[in-house]
Structure 1
Amino acid sequence: MIQSKKMLQLSASAALLATLVLPQFASAAEQTTAAAAPVTLSVQQASSANVEFSSYVKQQYGIQLTGNVTRDQYGTALAKVVASITSITEKEAAAKGFLSAGSTPLLLGEAISATIQAADLKELALTYSEQKVAAALKKAGISYAKGGTLSQKTAQGIAVALDTGIVSASQLSASKVTGAVSADLAYQLLGKVSELGGHYKNYLGTISEDGIYGKLAQAWHESQILKAGELQEVVDTALKQNLVTGYNLKDAAFDPHFDPARTITYGHSDLSHAIQLIGLLKSEGIDAKVQFEPKTSAFIYLKEWGEPVQTDDYQVVQIENGNYIAYAKEYDLSFEFASVEDKKRFQPLILQYAKKDAEDQTGLIKGSWWQPLYHSRTELADYTVITNNLLKEGRYIVQSFSLNDQSAKVVEGFKKLDSKLTVETYQFWVDQPFYNYLLGEYK
């Protein structure tokens, strides 16, 4: 049976319902290219990169450095980063001996050698011949000959650091191999270890680049409905028992690791809408890093809506009472803006060009919703605070958005199904139209 237009509209409404938690128990909210630094950086570019790395390392690992860094300070910080990106403890990471202990100032050559080991590039460094090392170091104005002041091992590490973009020739020239390492440079080295371990900022590209539309389309076509094994069985049971009206499933591997102060996450289900949204932001002179995060929305499809039509992007499973659990392929777009001011410009554009207020309204980008869904982890004027209640298992995350005073009921509902479940909760800022939807308003 072919679904009527009305049935499709009902289905779309139910899909949106899966992003929220109603006052009863309800629920559910919501590879990518790592940020690659160029092999060579100008001093100005390096300074900009240092700001990014400094912000990231402080935010992700809680590492605070000032002035010139000591050996002990860098060794401790390096162990913390390595432990975070691997399955070992900080104590085990420190025991690898990346850097010998000491309260003396850390020298750049020492820092690079330790960083090369921590970034798992030691074997590559050992392949560098004397000639190859000399050619690489020459870019930084460093003369090298075997038996000179630089040991072969240190020189090999510096050469690899230059060739892989861990440091630039201009930075090395300015700092000198025997110079002290500043906090800014230490943050960069730590950030590079994180990046090479696949834990730095994770995104498709930027709004300003011409190829972003094709990358976005490819990411959408490569994504598929997510399945999460036992975790999904629990939340599907919650759907069957009407403890929740829906949920969203995401894969943590696509987490962008963006700076929360400059980030907004926007949810939708239409590729054309995403492409037009990026085009809209670009036309307004706004640039941002863009990450595509695959998302699956699950909700109850009522049998009175008619027999559902299944596709690769929309699947259903019939349950005991004759209704269905529907699984719809969706996405979140995370934007890390160049500044907080640009982040503040996002909402006025959405309300003017992507918020539907009338059935036949024109002047909107394709697929605009009555209640667009976007949110921030940091406070914004004219946004409203709600709660995210989430479950994690391995790389999968189940999210459910609720009014703040309903969060305890959501947690209780999940706990009824499995007392061993850990339900994390946090408050965040969401757009007013979606908050109105949580209150039961359709428009």
Structure 2
Amino acid sequence: MKAIKGLSGKWLIALFGAAALLLAQPASHVGAATVSAASAVHAQEIGGAEYGLFLQEKYGVALPEKPAKGDFIEAAAAILGYEGADGTAEFSDLKAGDKWYGPASALFELGVLKGPAVGGDQPLTNAVAVSIALRAADLKELAYTYPADKVERSLSPLGITGKGLGAHVAQELAAAVDTGLLPASEYAGFNPKGAVDRELANVLLGKVLESKGLYKQYIGYVYDADIATKLHAAYATSDIIDAPKLQGLVNEALEQELITGYNLKDTRFDSRFIDSLKLTYGHSNLKHAVQLIGLLRSEGLNAKVQFEPKTSAFLHLKEWGDPGPNVVQIKNGNFIAYAKEYDLVFEFANAKDKTKFQDVILAYAKKNEADQTGLIAGSWWQPLYFSPTAIDGYEIITNNLITDPDSPYTVHPFSLNENSEKVIEGLKAIDPDAVITPYQFWVDVPFFNYLHGEAL
């Protein structure tokens, strides 16, 4: 594939860079009062339905309406990713090979279960669920610092005392209140000996994930009053990504004109959003990002926002002149140029809002004429945004994803579906050990047209 000179450097940077939740959304073109009200929406506690969707999609965990203790133990072991190292745990009511032995053994080795009995078939009580969750969340040392008077103060919002609970259970419940592991929405009518329902069980598991840094990652919401400040901070602390091992492979592919560009990303910033509600929007200009957030807000679209740093690499032909900073010259005299970019990843409340995103971009953030007005700053001729799941009005292309098991960095060379096999064969010819996992995704039509060599 030949590099195309007719596009600007910034343009090349962009183009070559390779179930509803519980958030009520305001109507379009909202007034200031509505915006203010909507700003408070995200501050509400995440409910069991949202946590449950995450647990099912990311971990395959789907609890029954009234989970038994064993169901909760199994779910906790699944999200902690621990299966039991040696199988030597001994329980009075379980032996190796029994239904709950594997997950119970895992939690025992992690210090979450104490034994001697597990009681996997017994109903799961609120107190037991909170205790298991607090220990799984690595908060037990904090809990056991609580003296009796602090326990009673902390339990008072629940309308209960520590009497009859046992010292450690009372401490664990108190710490769960103070840390937010047990959210305020569960305070009213809380009965330590009552049976847990699926809603609370999902919330507790979600809180464990949050405490362990395993839940969704995002800098805020579109409607946050300080979202612009967070964007500036995220952009200022990101930099050009340097991944020599991976870059050696794809830079050789660039020299061979096997690919025309690629993106470098860092999996440590992965949003972990729900695929069916997720859209990713790529750009390089911070001013554009701030205005895009304002645009979405003005159109009544609230969403979680994650800033994922990205480095774009592309060919800069020597006849184009000075390539600027952050370049590597290759054998034929051309350059590989690197540019600092970002992906804004959005998780919308529902599929309708996700679909509306494209209408907003095409109206206010896509350039159709050289001197076009009425667009936000830095709008591109062919913006890049995409979805991991099918969505009307988008086209399908392939990400020939390259990973390194010893590194958090990943390479994303996009291609047309029909070119993917050739790209992979070429990459494997350069490095037979390369880990390449191609997958298809849905991209906006203007970018798809570019891959076909069309102007718009």
Shorter chain as normaliser: what TM range?
A: 0.7 to 0.9
What's the CA shift for 1:381?
A: 1.1
The answer (yes or no) to whether the contact 1:262–1:338 under 8 Å persists in 2 is: yes
Alpha-carbon spacing, 1:418–1:87, altered in 2? closer, same or farther (3 Å)? farther
Q: Deviations over 1:126-159 (max 9, x none)?
A: 1111111110001110122xxx311110011111
2:37 is aligned to: none
Amino acid in structure 1 at the alignment position of 2:237? E
> Which residue of structure 2 aligns with residue 74 of structure 1?
72
Does residue 116 of the first structure (1) align with residue 134 of the second (2)? yes
Equivalence map 1:351-366=2 (5 Å): 351-366=362-377
208 and 410 in structure 1: CA distance in 2 versus 1, 3 angstrom threshold: same
Is structure 2 residue 389 aligned with structure 1 residue 378? Answer: yes
CA distance in 2, matches of 1:235, 1:305: 22
Taking a change above 3 Å as real, the CA distance of residues 439 and 107 of structure 1, as seen in their structure-2 partners, is: same
Q: Is the 8 A contact 2:47 2:199 kept in 1?
A: no
Q: Match for 2:423 among 383, 402, 410?
A: 410
CA distance in 2, matches of 1:184, 1:373: 38
Residue deviations 1:63-114, cap 9 Å, x none? 0112111111111110111117999997745643524351111111111111
**2:328 aligned counterpart, secondary structure:** strand
1:58 to 56, 59, 80: 56
Tell me the residue number matched to 1:237.
Answer: 252
Contact 1:98–1:114, Cα closer than 8 Å, also in 2: yes
Partners of 2:190 and 2:267 lie apart in 1 by 38
Q: Secondary structure at the match of 2:225?
A: coil
Partner of 2:233: 218
CA offsets 1:313-367 (integer angstroms, 9 cap, x no match): xx11112221111110000001111221111111111111111111111111111
In 2, Cα distance between equivalents of 1:374 and 1:45: 29
Is 1:17–1:245's contact at 8 Å kept on the other side of the alignment? no
| DSSP-derived class of the 1:139 partner | helix
State the TM-score, normalized to the length of structure 1.
Answer: 0.87
Contact preservation (8 Å) 1:70, 1:104: yes
Deviation of 1:13 after TM superposition, in Å, equals 3.2
Do 1:133 and 1:156's aligned partners in 2 also have CA atoms closer than 8 Å?
Answer: yes
Letter in 2 for 1:138: S
Structure 2 CA distance, aligned partners of 1:134 and 1:400? 58
Cα deviation, residue 193, structure 1: 0.9
Residue 178 (structure 2) aligned to one of 139, 143, 163: 163
Q: Tell me: CA distance 1:342–1:395, structure 2 relative to 1, closer, same or farther (3 Å).
A: same
1:157-206 CA-partner distances (Å, limit 9, x unpaired):
11111111111345144341111111121111111111111111111111
Task: Report the AA paired with residue 407 of structure 1.
Answer: S
Distance in 2 separating the partners of 1:220 and 1:141: 46
SS at match of 1:429: strand
CA distance in 2 between counterparts of 1:351 and 1:163 reads 46
String of CA shifts for 1:17-69, please: whole Å, max 9, x gaps.
422xxxxxxxxx2xxxxxxxxxxxx9x955x5222211111111110112111
393, 410, 413: which is aligned to 1:400?
413
Output the CA distance in 2 between the equivalents of 1:271 and 1:410: 32
Corresponding residue number in structure 1 for 2:34: none
Q: Does 1:332 align with 2:343?
A: yes
Q: 1:15 is matched with which residue: 5, 13, 16?
A: 13
Query: Which of 210, 214, 217 is the aligned partner of 1:195?
Result: 210
Gaps of 5+ in 1: 1-6, 20-28, 30-41
Give secondary structure in 2 for the equivalent of 1:397: strand
Kindly indicate whether residue 96 of structure 2 is the aligned counterpart of residue 96 of structure 1.
no
- Aligned partner of 1:3 in structure 2 is none
C-alpha separation between the residues in 2 aligned to 1:194 and 1:86? 19
Match of 1:83 in 2: 81
Amino acid at match of 1:372: P
Q: Distance in 2 between matches of 1:101 and 1:441?
A: 65
Which letter does structure 1 place at the counterpart of 2:128?
A: E
Query: Residues 260 and 84 from structure 1, CA distance in 2 versus in 1: closer, same or farther, beyond 3 angstroms?
Result: farther
CA 1:84–1:417 in structure 2 vs 1: closer, same or farther (change >3 Å)? Answer: farther
- Name the counterpart of 1:23: none
Q: 1:342-353 counterparts in 2 under 5 A? A: 342-353=353-364
Other structure's SS at 1:257 match: coil
Report the Cα distance in structure 2 between the residues aligned to 1:361 and 1:176, rounded to whole angstroms: 63
Query: Per-residue displacement from partner, 1:272-310 (whole Å, max 9, x unpaired)?
Result: 111111111111111111111100001111111112222
Task: Tell me the amino acid that sits aligned with residue 148 of structure 2.
Answer: E
Q: Distance in 1 between matches of 2:254 and 2:154?
A: 60
Asked if 1:317 corresponds to 2:315, the answer is no
Moved more, 94-103 or 173-182: 94-103
Q: Distance in 1 between matches of 2:253 and 2:412?
A: 13
Identity of aligned residues (%): 48
| Aligned-pair Cα RMSD in Å | 2.4
Distance in 1, matches of 2:165 and 2:187, equals 14
Q: 1:87 to 1:279 in 2, by over 3 A?
A: farther
Q: Which has the higher contact order (CA 8 A, sep 6+)?
A: 1
SS of corresponding position for 2:259: coil
**Corresponding residue number in structure 2 for 1:256:** 271
Tell me the distance in 2 between the aligned counterparts of 1:416 and 1:180. 59
1:284 match: 299
* Distance in structure 2 (CA, Å) of the matches to 1:232 and 1:284: 40
Query: Unaligned 5+ residue runs, structure 2?
Result: 19-40, 87-101
Shift of 1:238: 1.6
Query: Contact 1:75/1:101 (CA < 8 Å) preserved in 2?
Result: no
Q: 2:342 & 2:287 partners in 1: Cα distance?
A: 12
CA distance in 2, matches of 1:379, 1:360: 34
Residue 148 of structure 2 aligns with which residue? 130
